[in-house]
Amino acid sequence: MVIPGMNGLSLLDHLTIINDPRQQWKVEHKLSDILFLAIVAVIDGAEGWEEIEDFGVDHLEWLQQYGDFALR
């Protein structure tokens, strides 16, 4: 599906080009994974960070098809 005005990049492509200003030694998860999880969880009805985390735990196998989502 092509949306007028879009350049053909997928949501995941857009998320991976966002600059991550975090200090590298503090990073546990890729910024693109965090953003993707937050977006899909909120679309599914999650309200707040605890519900977003619950969504991630409940759908980990599905999420891993689209990002790293490694358990550390």
Average pLDDT over residues 62-72: 84
72/21: higher pLDDT: 21
Residue 70 lies in a domain: no
- Sign of the Cα pseudo-torsion (37, 39, 52, 22, in order): positive
pLDDT per residue over 14-58, tens digit each? 899 999 999 999 888 899 999 999 999 999 999 999 999 999 999
**Predicted structure pTM score:** 0.80
Q: Into how many domains does the chain fold? A: 1
54 CB-near residues (< 8 Å, 6+ apart): 46
Residue 23 lies in a domain: yes
Residue 18 lies in a domain: yes
